[in-house]
Amino acid sequence: MLPIIHRNIGWIEVICGSMFSGKTEELIRRTRRAIIARQKVAIFKPQIDDRFSKDHIVSHSELKIPSMMVESPRQILEMALESQVVGIDEAQFFDDSLVPICLKLANMGKRVIVAGLDMDYRGIPFEPIPQLLAVAEYITKTHAICVICGNPANFTQRKTADEERVIVGASDIYEARCRNCFEPPQETPSQNERNRKKATEEATHK
C-alpha cells in the first residue's frame, strides 16, 4: 500500500470503519512497526475515552500500546514536536480543529496515522473523519462482521434508545451490522425494508 521511498516528507493515513472493525488494532500494528524501526512515535487519544486505560490505547482484542490523553488537538501539536510518527485514536471524539492540526503535522514532515469511526450510530458521517479522508494520502476502511447475518459490517448499531451522539461504550451498547441489518434509530424498518416496501408500492401502481 505505501510507496517505498518517503524521505523527509510527511503524510496522513486514515483508518476508519465501524466499531469492532479492528481500527485500533491496525493503528497499534502500524505504530509498533515504526517503534521497531526506532522511529520516534507519539500516540494520542481524547480525554473522553478511558474505557480500558488512561495511558494506553487498547483494542477490543486487548492489544495495547502506551499513549497520552489530550483534551484538544492543539495539545497534540505541542506534544508531538519531536516525533516522526504521530498516532491518533478515536479521532471522532475530537473537534474539527483536528484537521488543520493533522495537516500541520504532515507539513512538518511527520507521518500522521489517524483512526476513528466514520459514521455515528445513525449511520451519519462523523466529523472530523470525512474531512480527514478528503485530505489524507492513504485511506484504509476496516470492516467488522455483521452479528445478524455474517456479512461485512460497515455500521455501528446502538442497542439502547439513548439519543446523544457520543456515548462511550463497547459490546454492552453497540454491535456491528451490515447495510441490510442496520436499523437507524427512530425508524424501525431498515433501509432494506423501506426499499422493499417502496418497490412493492410501485409495482402495485403499475
Closer residue to Zn ion, CB minimum distance, 104 or 143 = 143
Instruction: Kindly list the distances between the CA atom of residue 34 and the CA atoms of 43, 94, 107, 152, 192, in Å, as whole numbers in the listed order.
Output: 12, 24, 19, 29, 43
Instruction: Please tell me the chain's helix, strand, coil percentages from 3-state DSSP, rounded to the nearest 5.
Output: 25, 25, 50
Residue 85 touches Zn ion, criterion: CB under 5 A: no
Closer residue to Zn ion, CB minimum distance, 6 or 194 = 194
91 secondary structure, DSSP code: G
Closer residue to Zn ion, CB minimum distance, 18 or 92 = 18
Residue 117 touches Zn ion, criterion: CB under 5 A: no
Q: Cβ of residue 161: shortest distance to Zn ion, in angstroms?
A: 21
26 assigned to active site: no
Residue 181 touches Zn ion, criterion: CB under 5 A: yes
> What is the C-alpha separation between 3 and 141, in angstroms, rounded?
18
Judged on CB neighbours under 10 Å (0-12, 13-18, 19+), 146 is: buried
List the catalytic residue out of 13, 25, 26, 90.
90
Closer residue to Zn ion, CB minimum distance, 163 or 193 = 193
Binding mask 145-164 for Zn ion (x = CB under 5 A): -x-xx-x-------------
**Alpha-carbon torsion (88, 67, 175, 127), positive or negative:** negative
Residues that bind Zn ion (CB under 5 A): 146, 148-149, 151, 178, 181
Residues with catalytic roles = 90
